[in-house]
Chain A
Amino acid sequence: MEIFDLLMMGFSEAMTPQNLGFCLIGALLGTLIGVLPGIGPTATIAVLLPITFFLPPLAGIIMLAGIYYGAQYGGSTTAILVNLPGEASAVVTALDGYQMAQQGRAGSALAVAALGSFFAGTVATFGIAIAGPMLSSFALNFGPAEYVALMVFGLLAATILASGPVLKAIGMILIGLLFGMVGTDQATGAERLTFGSLELFDGIDFTVIAIGLFGFSEIISNLERSGSEGVKVAKLTRLWPTREDFRRSWPAVLRGTGIGSFLGILPGGGATLASFSAYSLEKKVSKHPHKFGTGVVEGVAAPEAANNAAAQSSFIPLLTLGIPSNNMMAMMLSAFMIHGITPGPTVMTTQPEIFWGLVASMWIGNALLVFINLPLIGLWVKLLTVPYRLLYPAILLFCCVGVYSMNNRIFDVLLAAGFGLLGYAFRKAKCEPGPLLLGFVLGPLLEANLRRTLLITQGDPSIFVERPISLTMLAATVILLALMILPSFRKKREEAFQEEES
């Protein structure tokens, strides 16, 4: 079997002391920020992005990926022990997990969460290994028209599946596209939207936008709310789940893994959506749905498995098509770009060690996380008592050094500070900055492919409906949009999200 040879090669890449070390660092950092409320994986990766430039490509990417799925493990710890979800994807875990902790079953809940996550991570990793090569050989047939359709579908589907008002999200994508156009036009060489400033000729750096919108503005709005001190931690008792807990959680883990792996692939999917969906599915199939929210082990097992599975499988569209499906993957895309690697179907053949090394490292990272989380749980709980006022100066410093070190320019730091203010305004306007990042990353690709398509057809747009793959994707986009406009569906979606928020 060729796939096993490739996987073995991946493991030998991922097992080198250096890569293993960075995998461990990523997993530790991910757990850390997952535990700490107020710092998300998006902001962390934005901060560390410029630093990965100083590392070898595979090591940097392994570390960033580790942060992403590590945060899913860490988020559950605080959700269960203090009813404070460290990550958005752990919100539903808090519902039943905290109740279990109140009943003295905290250890059991934590162990189910960690083992369920590990199982889901393993399945999803093999999913990438199997689906990756298939999808990418399919994607090699894509022409520019297909890519345009795929990107339009990806961008719009991402907004529809994500929470929040759709019109705002579309607007944020457009603003992202606009920011992506700043600088020298690829095709004509003309300066666009630069205010005549020399510093903007090369366009805006992704890191500047990401750190401004996610790093700086998150600090500002956290400080506005303040009061993240003095949390009460539930007592830890026995760590190993009872046989009864095992019996009830394994089918839930299986369902969660399935739903998570599937939702992770979809644009706009990812960990948060997956955990919410898995929880509502558990409630539907359960024989005693009214008991959910009172400490049911399935209510912990399913969403935890789902968010971890989705965190892994959302790498599939990025690695095979080169299309990021959520803002985390947009970050990963630019991490690849920093090293001059353009993710897409060709990476698997030209640089197989990157793809397979990453896949293997994900499995290793998941195994490491079980060890990081279960025996070291006491340490993480202690960290919760660190007040935010001691944390944010450190985050601030990492953000500033990260931005400055890219080009050693004052300008970049000032621009990032400006984006911090803009991000603050967006928060006040209740606009999610995530879609902006997606639009910014995909904008140049979308424009280049759109121009190429229309150049080939002499300005005839009918090619988009003549090619079957492109037609399918555009039709799916139209259907999704139409569904959004239909009032009944819209109501249902709002209900679904409201349920999640409560």
Chain B
Amino acid sequence: MAGPSVARKGDGPDLLTAGLFIGFGALGFWLARDLDQGTLAQMGAGYLPRAVCGLLILLGGVIGAVALRRRAEAIEPMRLRPLLVIFLSIVGFAYLCEHGGFVLASLWLIIAGSLADPGGRWRTTLMLAGGLTAFGALVFVYGLGVQIELWPF
């Protein structure tokens, strides 16, 4: 973490913000490249997207320029484990829902998702998975009529 050192400059979170804003602005510009511009009276599909992207890039530039002169502040350290585990368990759920049915998808989601927290014990995780899957099947599939097959066959 950045200490009280005055020598280093650059506000990490703000620089990241600037990057995100400019990135989205540039992406939008690129995606809108073929869209019709139109006039103020007859706006084409591309008029407002371009205007918004332009403003975003401008704003990102201002935030970035100011952040460079600010005292150094580090971005909070990232922990990959929860990020990756949660992301992958959601992606797995999506595919299993379609091809493997609700029961498998839900069991996967809860068991895989529980790995994000290193403190869990296998017995509680399995009980939780079983209980939540049964609850989900009853409430969502039977109770609310969500259109998901329960089993893969």
Interface residues of A (CB under 8 A from B): 51, 54, 167-168, 170-171, 174-175, 177-178, 181, 185, 187-188, 190, 192-195, 216, 219-220, 223-224, 226, 388-390, 392-394, 396-397, 400-401, 404-405, 408, 410, 413-414, 416-417, 420-421, 424-426, 428-431, 447, 450-451, 454-455, 457-459, 461
Contacts and interface: CB of A to CB of B under 8 A. Distances in A.
A178 B148 contact: no
A454 B75 CA distance: 44
Contact of A181 (B44, B52, B55, B129): B52
Given A393-B113, A405-B146, A170 B59 contact: yes
A416 B113 CA distance: 16
B136 A190 contact: no
Given A389-B114, A420-B86, A400 B109 contact: yes
B114 A393 contact: yes
Contacts of A410: 94-95, 97-98
Nearest to B16: A429
Nearest to A177: B52
Given A175-B24, A401-B140, A413-B94, A223 B129 contact: no
Given A393-B114, A461-B40, A168 B132 contact: no
Contact of A396 (B46, B98, B109): B109
Contacts of A194: 31
Nearest to A414: B94
Given A177-B52, A459-B41, A404 B94 contact: yes
Given A216-B86, A219-B86, A224-B79, A171 B63 contact: yes
B103 interface: no
10 contacts: A51-B144, A54-B146, A171-B21, A177-B48, A190-B44, A223-B86, A410-B97, A417-B91, A429-B17, A458-B41
Contacts of B106: 397, 401
B16 A425 contact: yes
Nearest to B48: A447
Contacts of B78: 224, 428
Nearest to A391: B128
A52 to B, nearest CB: 10
B87 A421 contact: yes
Contacts of B53: 178
A297 B41 CA distance: 59
Contacts of A393: 109-110, 113-114, 128-129, 132
A370 B93 CA distance: 40
A174 to B, nearest CB: 5
A220 B40 contact: no
A413 to B, nearest CB: 4
A219 B117 CA distance: 11
Interface string B41-57: 11111101100110110
Nearest to B98: A410
B145 interface: yes
Contact of B97 (A185, A413, A416, A447): A413
Nearest to B53: A178
B86 A178 contact: no
A404 B148 contact: yes
